[in-house]
């Protein structure tokens, strides 16, 4: 695998896991591996997720909506992707792509499935008329950056993060390739944030909520332990924006929901009510 003389066969076949973190859950076919219904709570929105950057986008959005007074009460259920929960039949019915986050919206006559984090953010923003300008250039600019995030973050996560932090060995070629791209993306953001307080302009929007969990948390030293390697301190405007968003109470709560790793006081495995942040974190309930 690390042999530079490797010659790809005519037809790739799935053999032994390729090694590295997550190798056990990677497979070249889609669909359910086992029957498992999803739980349902009492609120109109049922979220099935995990506090990775893609999951945090949506829990931050819910907590921001609630903080702004919208009726966005939700139940958040933990999907443990390292144990294969995303391949259960109930989850696959909500997201055939088997990735968190996935949402069931029960506010209509029939449950509506919403998957892909940007689709969930847009769905909620439009439903509540919040964090996305309704029309005009400001709306377009917000969507520009929302979709920039969807296209760019796989180079940071699946590219840089995978080869820098998770691959079984360190190979210079992919680390150079993706460090270069991650730094170029940070520079794109830095130039944008030099001119305005939030990504898309004067307002905090779903574009900030999508980009911060990846690039903001990278700058805050929470992703891949790569802050020094990528010299994130040199992106001063991204850094200041990252800290400003990190200070929002709803962002702190959003980071805690469906978190099953890290400090016990920051872990709220399931969220069913606002009081859970005071009473149901892992330091309180243990286990
Ligand atoms: N483009 C998707 C990406 C979602 C995604 O990659 N989720 C990861 C966790 S961050 C996942 O569920 N991985 C499980 C797997 O690959 O089996 C989105 O933004 O919702």
- Return the ligand 1 atom nearest residue 53 CA: 10
Grade residue 16 by pLDDT with cuts at 50, 70 and 90: low
High-pLDDT (> 70) share of the chain, %: 97
Nearest of 65, 181, 71, 50 to residue 117 by alpha carbon: 50
Counting from 1 in the atom list of ligand 1, the atom nearest the Cα of 50 is: 9
- The overall longest dimension of the chain from CA atoms, in Å, is 60
pLDDT tens profile 127-157 = 999 999 999 999 999 999 999 999 999 999 9
| Span from the CA of 80 to the centroid of ligand 1 (angstroms) | 12
Q: Which atom of ligand 1 is nearest to the CA of 79?
A: 12
For the domain bounded by 136-253, which CATH number is listed? Answer: 1.20.1050.10
Q: Are 76 and 59 in contact (CB under 8 A)?
A: yes
Ligand 1 atom with least separation from CA of 54: 10
Q: What is the domain partition of the chain in residue ranges?
A: 136-253
Which region holds residue 67: left if phi is over 0, alpha if psi is between -120 and 50, else beta?
alpha
Report the separation in Å between the CA atom of 249 and the middle of ligand 1, taken as the mean of its atom positions: 25
Nearest CA residue ID for atom 19, ligand 1? 117
Host H or E run for residue 216: none
Q: Whose CA is nearest to atom 6 of ligand 1?
A: 99
Q: Where are the beta strands (DSSP E) in the chain?
A: 45-49, 74-78, 102-105, 112-115
173 CA to middle of ligand 1, Å? Answer: 25
In this prediction, residue 20 carries a pLDDT of: 72
Pull the structure tokens for residue 194. Answer: 């030099």
- Separation of 257 CA from ligand 1 center, angstroms? 16
Under 8 Å between Cβ of 103 and 113: yes
- The atom number, within ligand 1, closest to the CA of 87 reads 17
Q: How confident is the model at residue 17 (pLDDT cuts 50, 70, 90)?
A: low
Query: What is the side-by-side order of every strand in the sheet holding 102-105?
Result: 74-78, 45-49, 102-105, 112-115
d(CA 138, CA 125): 14
Protein residue with least CA distance to atom 2, ligand 1: 116
Tokens of residue 99, six digits: 């990735």
Confidence of residue 182 (pLDDT cuts 50, 70, 90): very high
Question: Looking at the predicted structure, is the pLDDT value of residue 1 above 60?
Answer: no
- Cα(101) to ligand 1 centroid in Å equals 7
Gap from CA of 195 to ligand 1 centroid (Å): 32
Atom of ligand 1 nearest to the CA of 116: 20
| CA nearest neighbour of 51 among 255, 216, 201, 265 | 255
pTM to 2 decimals?
0.96
Q: How far is the CA of 158 from the centre of ligand 1 (A)?
A: 10
Pocket lined around ligand 1, Cβ cut-off 6 Å? 25, 52, 54, 81, 86, 98-101, 116-117
Tell whether the model's pLDDT for residue 49 goes beyond 80: yes
């Amino acid at each position: 695998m690390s042999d530079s003389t490797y010659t790809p066969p005519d037809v790739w076949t799935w053999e032994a896991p390729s090694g590295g973190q997550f190798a056990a859950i990677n497979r070249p076919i889609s669909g359910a591996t086992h029957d498992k219904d999803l739980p349902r709570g009492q609120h109109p929105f049922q979220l099935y997720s995990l506090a990775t950057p893609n999951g945090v986008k949506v829990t931050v959005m819910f907590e921001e909506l609630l903080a702004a007074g919208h009726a966005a009460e939700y139940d958040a259920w933990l999907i443990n992707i390292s144990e294969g929960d995303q391949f259960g039949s109930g989850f696959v019915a909500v997201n055939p792509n088997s990735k968190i986050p996935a949402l069931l919206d029960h506010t209509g006559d029939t449950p509506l499935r919403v998957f892909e984090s940007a689709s969930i953010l847009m769905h909620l923003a439009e439903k509540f008329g919040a964090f996305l300008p309704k029309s005009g250039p400001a709306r377009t600019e917000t969507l520009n950056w929302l979709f920039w995030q969807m296209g760019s973050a796989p180079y940071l996560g699946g590219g840089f993060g995978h080869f820098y932090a998770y691959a079984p060995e360190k190979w210079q070629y992919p680390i150079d390739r993706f460090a270069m791209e991650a730094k170029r993306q940070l520079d794109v953001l830095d130039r944008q944030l030099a001119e305005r307080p939030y990504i898309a302009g004067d307002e905090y929007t779903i574009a900030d909520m999508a980009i911060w969990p990846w690039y903001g948390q990278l700058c805050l030293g929470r992703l891949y332990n790569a802050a020094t390697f990528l010299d994130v301190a040199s992106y001063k405007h991204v850094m200041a924006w990252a800290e400003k968003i990190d200070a929002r109470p709803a962002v702190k709560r959003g980071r805690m929901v469906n978190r099953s790793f890290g400090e016990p006081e920051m872990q709220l495995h399931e969220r069913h009510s606002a009081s859970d942040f005071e009473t149901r974190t892992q330091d309180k309930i243990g286990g």
